[in-house]
Structure formats: structure tokens, C-alpha cells
Structure 1
């Protein structure tokens, strides 16, 4: 091999480059193939030949050409990246990963290489690795929109809500996306409550130029239907579904399983809301039969469990829920294997406590008065927090912001600054506390820019585990603790999907749920004794049976002159549209007793965990 190519080789490379720029791929191939195996071929000529072979879908030949390049110049990250792209196209994931890892080591500053590695991991559903690689790409080039979109998807798959939101900041200003990416982006924005932006994204989607555009239009209509159903706009959802008739979906099944999954799910959700449970069940069963991964299987099985429960077919409902949890266990095992080992603690925050002695050492800080503090609505998930939130939001003096993890973000910021939580809360200086409060209010105002003079309602059930932070920053705040029979709470949690891996694990069995429930309330009552916060216990069963009385009691607690508007919460929820929690449909139906003692139909499954729950049942005043 010669170190310097001959003039004829350099001339050949120049001719190939000119042909490549003209888009004359056939000429590039004709010029390059006769000299492909020669030792003194110009590297540029080999690179152009490989690109032309790849463009012509002659992938095995392109693979061989790029292998020659990395052998000749193993320190060139670009060549390893090219080799990886072709290997990925050929389905050789191991070769692609090896090449990309070499490229990253050689050029760690190249965002495109990190991006390609992230895409490879995403294709394999290795979401934690995909998230890391894609976040690295964004860190290098923050304006890399494709990387931000795919990083947001990886965060979404990992249950990293904070990371997903950060990656999607400014998405409303992104240029129109190709249809596949637009569907993904709109799905994530919709789940964050950004409905208007989500609809605009799919309106502007760039459709493919070939026959697949027809199927893509159906997929877009199915997503629009799901978004309308999720906002309780059933007439609009049905209008969209009229564009996606099921017989057309069935005919296109071999072409697009993704269409079938989206269409069946949308049709099933609307049918369930319309009380057409037989039709909904048949569609969820079809989804289960077709499911190609644990996400689809879990979605279908949870949907089927809900429909079977509505029909009173409790054994089938329980079996469907078990199928769903088995699928979610597979997801959690891949994303957070440490949570699936025996003795793990999914609710890690439940172990954080401040003692009486530690609280006694807290320095005194100036803090907002009650009228200038948020109202915190807390409780174990599925205890009626969404119902109460909508009641408060229906009152003109209050404004809720749906479910946000802003208090957890404050804890994260403390820890990122090198402070321990909750140990260092007592040592916060006045300016540090003010910074945390300002951060909290800034995040809140981005969600509710029209807050004005209304009081903020922060409804996040598991803020009950963050009482030390609330007590430090907003010691005068009113807190409403939502209570419901623990067995009804656990059953509801077991029958519904959660995206965060810790909650997937926590809800995977009644035993884990019962243990987590007791741990959460033991910590809560410990901190109530330590901090003596202003708390109203809001008991679901009592509210159902004596609604007006409890509305008046809530008004007195919050010092509201006229609590009457809260009684119109169902109408308010219907008008509001998107509600992020699983009870988005129930809160539009008004007060009813159907959810009281629902666990009795599943009592045989609860008998083994009643001993775990009994001390808390007695403390809360419930009977087993």
C-alpha cells in the first residue's frame, strides 16, 4: 500500500465526487467498482463508493467498502460511523454498536455519533442506554431537534417525566416534522397536557410521498380520536374514528400493525366510555393477540381489566390485570432492575424522616402567609385527589395546574447543589429558601400563566412524602389529605397503569402495594406529629354520602366566603378538557357511590394482605 495516492487515483476521486454532487449515483458506481479492491485507492473514492452503494441499497457491498476504510484508517471516527449506519440497516446490531462505540471514543464531541448510538439502542428498546446517548447528543448541540425529540421519547419510555419535559421545551416552535416523528411528538405533548400544541404538530405533519400516506392519515386520525377521548370530547373522537373504519384497519393489518394498535385502542376507549363494553373488550383482546411488546400488551390488558370489571366479570378482570402487571414487570426489569430484587423500596422517599430533635434545630425563616401559599392536595394515589382538585379549580378563587412534580424538583435541585434532603432543610439560609420558593413559583407560572390573584392548587398525591419540604418553604399552607378505604385504593392502583418504573414495581402485587401504603402513611403521620401542619382530612366515603356538608367544611378550612361554585365540579371538568390522571372520565360524572367498597368483589385476593393493612385500617377508622 502506498501512503500517497497516484495522480490517476486522485483524478478518479475528483470525477466520482463531481458525479456524486450531480446526483449521478450510477456514474459513481461505474467509476468506483473497478478499483474497489486495489490497495492504493484514494480514501475519498472509497468513501464515495460506499455512499453510492448504500444509496443504491447494495448494503452488503457498502458494508465491505466501509470495512476497508476503517481497516485503512482506524482512527477516523467518520468511517466507523458510516460502517455503523450500514450495519444497522442490515440488522446487524452488534456490529453497529461496536462501530459506534469506537466512533464515540474517537470523537466524543460529535453529537451525530451519539445520536446514531441512541437510535440504535431505541430500536432495541434498550431505553436507559438510548436516553443516555441521546441526552449526550443534546448536551453537545442543544438545538439538535431530532435528538431532542428522540431523547424525549427515551425519557418518556424510562418514566423520566422531568427529562421529557426538558427535552420538549420550545417544541411549539419546531418546524413541521415528518409524519412518524410528528405522531411521536404529539403523543408526548398530549400526555403533558399540551393539547393545542399536539394538535398543531399533527396538522403540520409532513406526509410521505408514496402509497403509505393513506395509512399515515388513518394513524393521525386515530391519534386525534385518542386525544379527544382523553379530553372527554366523545363526539369529536367519534367523528375522527369515522375516518378510520375498522374494516379498513383489518384490511391494512399486514401493512401496518401500528395502525391496528392505535385504531383498536382509540375505538375501544370510546366504546368503553359509551358503555359498549362488549365491543371494547373484543378490541382489547385483539390488541393482546397482536401485541409485539410489553408496552402494547400492558395497555391492552389494563384496558380489558377495566372493561371486565365494569361488566362484573371479576375473575376475568383480575386475570387481565395480572397479564398487564407481568408485562409491566418486564418493562421495569429492563429499565430499573435494582427495583425488582427482593426487598427493594419503590417508594424511596418514604424512608426519609425528620425527627422532633432535628426539627427543633431548624433556624427560623420568614415565609409566605397562608393566603400567599399554595393549597396542597395529597394522599395515596387513587384516593380522590383528582375529584377534590377539580372542585377547587371550579371555584373562581383557585387555579389548579394538573399533576406536577415541582416539589420533587426542589428536592432534586437541593441535592444537585450538594445538600442532603431532608437533613439540610434546617440549615437553609433565608436567601436559599427564597430561591427554592421562586423556582417553584416560576415553574408553576409557566404551567398556569393566568394565575393572577387566584391561589394555586398543587395536587400531587405523593407530595405526602415531601411534607418536610412543604413545611420548610410554606409552613402556613393549607394541606388537604385525601383518604379512602385502603383496600379500594389498592384495588384501583392495581387495576390501572403507571408509567414510572418505581410505581410499576409497587403496583405489581397487592402485597407490595399494601407495604408501600403503610410505609407512606407511617411517614406521613410521623411528620404530621413533628411539624403540626394545617391539615384537613377529606374522606371519600363521607364526601359521597354528605357532599354539601363536606363542601361547606372545606370552604371553612380554606377561608372561602362562598364555597358553592365547588359543587359544579363535574360541569367544570367537562369544560376543562384534558385531565392527566386515570380518573379523567370519572370526575365528569358527578358524585356517586359506585367506587365505594368495590374491593369486596375481590376480597379473596385481599385476605392475605389484610394483616399488613390492619394497623392502618384501625388508625384511619376503616373496617376490614
Structure 2
């Protein structure tokens, strides 16, 4: 070793020893900035890269943090802590599947790593695999009895599913360990509202609302719960104002991601597709490449579409209770095809003339994705439930010309109000629902596009009205079964019990778990004054779909 190399090695060793001393004595917050200085001085060490990544992550520079962690992983491929940190970064970047691979790799090296189980559960929540997420959180809590976060998340999952008793058990265990857990407090407040313990809810929510340390996303949830409380108290004007404040919090958080100047919004894409199809030659859409039957195919392939809060979750769970039906709930298995064919006019033109080889590759990709969620459609009636797949119908028509479309419909005024009031996992489409006007504009645009598709695309469609399903359950369900080639089965009457076991991931979970009820019908009338600005936009659809205009 020459003098220069020896000097560099000594300098690097000094850095490592200094950072180790600071890390032990003063913690990560003081050691991490030193790690950045060491990296700038040419020190390449996995621990330093991990520390530096924590700095970049805290600054919101998630791509840079992930890049640092990939460098650390290359140097220490069997370090589960680096893999866990990488998974957190990837999940924050909106790459949950890559994040899950990182968490699984960490757990392969250290199966008892409670924090990796918890983070895995969080990623699974993000892709609506609720039962699997719950199992990961339960494993984390079992491995570390003092670990607050998985208990708090379990409380939240419980209350979202309408199980207030279990939510209280998990939430109180979490608060016994740490009274400051915001998620546990929110879960208990939500349970209070569900059980109409309104004074207790008021006390919890007032305390949370005044907490300066709560994150923006959690503050949005708290404001939404305050809105639900005011609604339960029939203080409608205050409730509506709280819903607006809740959504404004989220809008500020997600605006840079979903409404940047160069970004095509979900509303923009729907309007662009409508313009394209208005001007397009309808002839190429009358036929599709032949989809030859294969042994692995479902007996019947169904897409359940419509608009969020239109009754798709209720209908899906009713049909999924049939022994011949298997259902996949809100997993976007068509995403690769959508990116190829619907993200540009040029892509849609290619879709119009897609060849059999390309169509086959896209179908294989779709079925591979379906099966990756543990679903086996072979020989069953397979229902792919994704409300806004109503925007994707040209892709479905070309790739799956034998598919059948169930279109869920509900009073447009109830739909738009419910979309504005309820909490969704955020994506470009859900971002459109954060204002009442935005929700109404998006609904109007999607319905216009759906009607245009109905005229152009040769897909068999059957409309199921939410109000009819609730009011005439057997008659409406039998009609849907006839359309799907299913015999009526008494098991469908007990759909609520099966729904609770499935682990519903949508805002309708608690309502569906209670079985049939009319609580969502005509809710818009209570907020008629607040909805006045959007009623003229919705009125044509109210009339077109045959709802009473008063």
C-alpha cells in the first residue's frame, strides 16, 4: 500500500470511528449529517450510506435516499436493516411491489425483525391486501410486545372494517404503551363515532385537533372524523366545512404529485379520451383479435365498473358469496396495457388496430397479475371489480372481447357527495374528488365517456342500480346472475358474513359488513344547500338515469 492509499484508509477509519462514537452517544440525528460529510470525502461504507439516506429521506428527497440505499445494498447485500430502509423508500415513492420485495428479502435474512413485518403490512395496506396486511401487523406485535405502531394500525384496520370492539382493544393496548399515539387515538375516536358515543369522540378529536405534532395526512383524517361527528350531530353546515378543511389538507400534500403543470390529470385524460373517440372512426372498434379459449380461462370473465361510491363494493360482495364466483377487489391488473394504449392518442390509435400477438401478450400479462394476488379464475365466474375501469373499456374490448360488463349505478348526487366526504387511498383519480366541484366534474366526464363507449364498443353491459339492489335484493341479484350465466344461490343472502372475512379495502367496508341498509340513499338532500353549486352539472345525469329531480 502506498503512502497516499494508507493516508486515505486512515482518514476513512477516523471518519468511521467518529461517526460510530456520535451514533452511540447522541443518536442518528447527530450522526447522519456527519455521514454525508464522510461520503463527500470519499468514504463508501454501508452504514454511512444508510445514515445519509435517512437525511435525504427526512428532506423529502426520496429518489436520492433510494439511490444511496441501493449503493449500501451492493456493499452489504445481507444486511436486513438496509433492505428495510430501502423498502420504506420504495413504498414512499409509490412502488409498493418493489418495497414488498425488499421487506421480504429483509425477513428472509431476519424473520424476527418486527419493524420489517410492520413496514410490510403498511405496504400491503397500500395495495388493498387488507387480510395480508393485518397478518403482518399481528406478527410484528407478537414479536415485540412493546411495539406500538402495529397495534395502532390494527386498531385502524378494525374500525375501518366496522369492528369497533376489536378496534378499542387494539387501540387501548397501544395507548397503554404510548398515550401519544395519534393513530390509536384516531381509531378510538372513529369507534366512538361509529357507536354514537359522541361526547367521547368530541373529547378525543378536540385534543388531536390541537396537537401541533400531528402530520398533515393525520390532521386531514382528524378533520374528516370531526366532520363525521358533526354529521352525526346533524350540524350539517359545520360538517361540510370540516370535510372541506380535511380535503384541503390532502390537496396541499398531493398537489405537487398529481397536479404539477406538466402532468396530465385523471380528469384531463378522461376528457382527452372523450375528444379522441368523438372524432375516431368507429369501424376498427367493432372487432377485436380473437381470444382463443384456453384451459386456464375463467368460465365467465366479468368487469364490474361504474364510479366510486356507486355500489360496486356491495354488488361485488353479494356476487362473491356465490360458490361459483371468485372476485378480485380493486387491483389494477390492466395498468401495463393502460400505460401503453391510453396515456397518449398515439397509443389509443395503436390499440384500435392491435394485432393478435400483441393482444395475447397483454392478456398473459393481465392473467399473471391476477394470479399474483392469489386468485385462481380457472373454470369460475371471475369478477374483476374496479369502478373506474369504466374509463378502460376500449382496452377491455380489444383484449377481452368475450368479457361481460356489470355497470353499477347510483343517484349521481349521492355518488358525488359520498366521494367528497369519504377517505380514499390517494391516486390521480381520487385526487379529483378532494373538492365537491372536482368530484362533480370528474363524474360528469366519466359518465360522458362511458356513454360514448356504450355506443362504440361491442361489449355486453348490464346496469345494476344500487337503490334497486337494496330495495329488491333477490330480483336485482337474480337479473345480474342471469346476465352472468349463474344460477341463484341462497349463499348470496349471507354476503355480509363473507365480506367481513374477505377484508374489504374500500370506504364501504363497514357499511357492507352490516348487510343491506338504506342509509346511503338520498343523503344529498341533507346537504342540498352545500351541493347547490354542482347540482346543475349533475341534473342531466339525474334525468338521464331516471332519478327523481326533486
- TM-score w.r.t. the length of structure 2 is 0.84
> Over aligned residue pairs, what C-alpha RMSD do you find?
3.9
Match of 1:89 in 2: 30
Post-superposition offset of 1:351: 2.3
Match of 1:360 in 2: 283
Matches within 5 A, 1:378-457: 378-412=305-339, 420-457=346-383
Query: Are the counterparts in 2 of residues 158 and 335 from structure 1 also a CA contact under 8 Å?
Result: no
Query: Are the counterparts in 1 of residues 341 and 351 from structure 2 also a CA contact under 8 Å?
Result: no
Query: Are the counterparts in 1 of residues 80 and 105 from structure 2 also a CA contact under 8 Å?
Result: no
Post-superposition offset of 1:399: 0.8
Match of 1:464 in 2: 390
Give the SS at the match of 1:382.
coil
Q: Deviation string for 1:561-617 (max 9, x for gaps)?
A: 2244323211221233x1111111100112221111101111122111122223323
Give the SS at the match of 1:56.
helix
Q: 1:432 to 1:504 in 2, by over 3 A?
A: closer
Post-superposition offset of 1:539: 1.1
Q: Deviation string for 1:315-368 (max 9, x for gaps)?
A: 232122122112102211343451699x96545245224458544136652125
Post-superposition offset of 1:172: 6.9
How many correspondences in the alignment?
540
Q: Deviation string for 1:20-48 (max 9, x for gaps)?
A: xxxxxxxxxxxxxxxxxxxxxx3333333
Which stretch shifts more, 488-497 or 368-377?
Answer: 368-377
- Corresponding residue to 1:608 among 522, 530, 533: 533
Q: Does 1:183 align with 2:183?
A: no
Matches within 5 A, 1:208-357: 216-244=146-174, 246=175, 248=176, 252-253=178-179, 257=180, 260-290=181-211, 291-338=213-260, 346=267, 348-352=269-273, 353-354=276-277, 357=280
Give the SS at the match of 2:384.
strand
Q: 1:225 to 1:380 in 2, by over 3 A?
A: same
Q: Deviation string for 1:215-241 (max 9, x for gaps)?
A: x43444333333444455554444434
Matches within 5 A, 1:104-119: 118-119=53-54
Query: Are the counterparts in 2 of residues 400 and 456 from structure 1 also a CA contact under 8 Å?
Result: yes
Which stretch shifts more, 462-471 or 360-369?
Answer: 360-369
Which stretch shifts more, 365-374 or 328-337?
Answer: 365-374
Query: Are the counterparts in 2 of residues 176 and 206 from structure 1 also a CA contact under 8 Å?
Result: no
Match of 1:28 in 2: none
Matches within 5 A, 1:106-185: 118-127=53-62, 130=65, 146=81, 149-157=84-92, 159=94, 173=108, 175-176=110-111, 178-185=113-120
Q: 1:230 to 1:321 in 2, by over 3 A?
A: closer
Post-superposition offset of 1:495: 1.1
Give the SS at the match of 1:537.
strand
Query: Are the counterparts in 2 of residues 176 and 204 from structure 1 also a CA contact under 8 Å?
Result: no
CA–CA separation in structure 1 for the residues paired with 2:210 and 2:406: 44
Q: Does 1:193 align with 2:129?
A: yes
Query: Are the counterparts in 1 of residues 91 and 99 from structure 2 also a CA contact under 8 Å?
Result: yes
CA–CA separation in structure 1 for the residues paired with 2:80 and 2:24: 28
Match of 1:598 in 2: 523
Gaps of 5+ in 2: none
Q: Deviation string for 1:172-213 (max 9, x for gaps)?
A: 746336444443332222443253465356535797xxxxx8
Bigger relative contact order, structure 1 or 2 (CA pairs below 8 A, ≥6 apart): 2
CA–CA separation in structure 1 for the residues paired with 2:415 and 2:404: 23
Gaps of 5+ in 1: 11-41, 63-84, 208-212
Q: 1:227 to 1:507 in 2, by over 3 A?
A: closer
Q: 1:620 to 1:267 in 2, by over 3 A?
A: same
Which stretch shifts more, 551-560 or 125-134?
Answer: 125-134
CA–CA separation in structure 1 for the residues paired with 2:534 and 2:217: 28
Give the SS at the match of 1:561.
coil
Q: 1:128 to 1:348 in 2, by over 3 A?
A: farther
